C-alpha cells in the first residue's frame, strides 16, 4: 500500500477529526470512473452500498493504494471496506446530506469506523462541497433530529436489522440524522480539488448543502472502512471485505 501521510498529517487527523489529502486519484482515473458510471451496468453489479464487491470500477477506487493506504495509516491496522457510495449532486438544487456523525448510521464495536470522501470535481461552498466541524469527534454522540430545511437536505427514515457478535438480532429505526443545536460558526466549508479526498472519523460532524450553482456538478465517491477485527452491527453491511 502507498504511504501518503507524514507523522504530522496523522497527528493533525487525530487532533481535528479530519484531514484533506490532495492527489489521491489522477484525472485519468476519475475520467475512467465517470465514463463507467455513464453506461448501463449489469444487474449483478448493482449492489447498492456493496457495489464494490461486484463492480470493478467501484472496487478499484475502494482499494486504491492511495485511498486504502492512507486509511491503513490512520487506522494503524488493516482496513476493511464496509460500504461505498457514488454521490452525484447536480447543479441547480441537487440536495445535500445534513450535518451528522456516521456512528449513528453504522454502529460498530470497537468504534474504528472512518471514511474517505473523494472529490470527482473541483468542490467548494458554491457547488455543495463537503463541510466539517473540526474537533467535534472529541465531544461524543450528539442529539439529532430530522433535517429542518427540505430545500437543502434529503429526508428519509428506514428500519434496519442489527445483529451482535452472539447472534442476537433486533431492529433499529434509522433516519437522515441532523445534529441538533449546531453552532453555524463552527462549520468549515471545505474546498477540495478534483482527485483530492477528505478522511474523517465516525464521530466527526460533517455533511453538505445543496448545489445551487448553475453549471457545476458535484460528484464524489465515499468509502467507509473499519479496522480488521471490528464488529459492524448492521446486517446489510456486516460482511466487510479487505481493502488490501
pLDDT in tens, 103-162: 999 999 999 999 999 999 999 999 999 999 999 999 999 999 999 999 999 999 999 999
What's the domain range around 180? Answer: 7-242
Show the cell assigned to 111.
Answer: 468504534
Nearest to 124 by CA among 76, 178, 192, 75: 192
Nearest to 175 by CA among 208, 133, 147, 209: 147
| Average pLDDT score over the chain | 97
pLDDT digits (tens, 9 = 90+) for 208-220: 999 999 999 999 9
- Find the CATH number of the domain harbouring 34: 2.60.120.620
In total, how many domains does the chain have? 1
- In sequence order, what are the residues at sequence separation of 6 or more whose Cβ sits closer than 8 angstroms to the Cβ of residue 29? 60, 61, 64, 195
Q: Are strands 241-242 and 188-189 parallel, antiparallel or unpaired?
A: unpaired
User: Looking at the domain assignment, is residue 2 inside a domain?
Assistant: no
Q: What pLDDT does 244 receive? A: 86
The pLDDT-based confidence of 194 (bands split at 50, 70, 90) is: very high
**Is the overall model pTM greater than 0.85, yes or no?**
yes
Sign, CA dihedral 59-63-65-71, equals positive
User: Looking at the domain assignment, is residue 35 inside a domain?
Assistant: yes
Q: Residue 2: is its pLDDT beyond 90?
A: no
User: Looking at the domain assignment, is residue 195 inside a domain?
Assistant: yes
User: Looking at the domain assignment, is residue 150 inside a domain?
Assistant: yes
pLDDT digits (tens, 9 = 90+) for 8-38: 999 999 999 999 999 999 999 999 999 999 9
User: Looking at the domain assignment, is residue 67 inside a domain?
Assistant: yes
CB 208 within 8 A of CB 82: no
Q: What pLDDT does 4 receive? A: 73
How far from the centroid of its chain's Cα atoms is residue 221's Cα?
8
Amino acid at each position: 500500500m502507498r504511504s501518503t501521510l507524514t507523522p504530522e498529517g496523522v497527528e493533525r487527523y487525530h487532533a481535528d477529526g479530519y484531514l484533506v489529502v490532495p492527489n489521491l486519484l489522477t484525472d485519468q482515473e476519475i475520467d475512467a470512473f465517470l465514463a463507467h458510471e455513464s453506461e448501463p451496468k449489469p444487474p449483478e453489479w448493482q449492489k447498492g452500498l456493496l457495489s464494490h464487491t461486484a463492480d470493478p470500477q467501484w472496487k478499484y477506487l475502494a482499494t486504491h493504494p492511495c485511498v486504502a493506504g492512507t486509511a491503513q495509516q490512520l487506522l494503524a491496522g488493516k482496513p476493511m471496506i464496509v460500504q461505498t457510495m457514488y454521490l452525484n449532486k447536480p447543479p441547480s438544487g441537487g440536495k445535500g446530506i445534513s450535518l451528522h456523525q456516521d456512528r449513528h448510521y453504522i454502529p460498530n464495536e470497537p468504534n474504528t469506523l472512518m471514511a474517505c470522501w473523494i472529490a470527482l470535481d473541483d468542490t467548494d461552498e458554491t457547488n455543495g462541497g463537503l463541510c466539517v466541524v473540526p474537533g467535534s469527534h472529541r465531544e461524543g454522540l450528539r442529539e439529532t433530529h430530522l433535517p429542518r430545511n427540505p430545500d437543502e437536505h434529503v429526508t428519509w427514515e428506514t428500519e434496519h436489522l442489527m445483529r451482535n457478535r452472539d447472534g442476537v438480532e433486533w431492529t433499529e429505526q434509522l433516519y437522515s440524522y441532523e445534529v441538533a443545536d449546531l453552532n453555524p460558526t463552527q462549520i468549515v466549508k471545505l474546498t477540495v480539488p478534483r482527485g483530492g479526498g477528505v478522511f474523517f472519523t465516525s464521530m466527526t460532524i460533517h455533511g453538505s448543502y445543496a448545489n445551487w450553482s448553475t453549471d457545476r456538478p458535484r460528484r464524489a465517491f465515499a468509502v467507509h472502512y473499519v479496522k480488521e477485527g471490528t464488529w459492524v452491527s448492521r446486517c446489510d453491511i456486516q460482511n466487510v471485505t479487505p481493502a488490501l
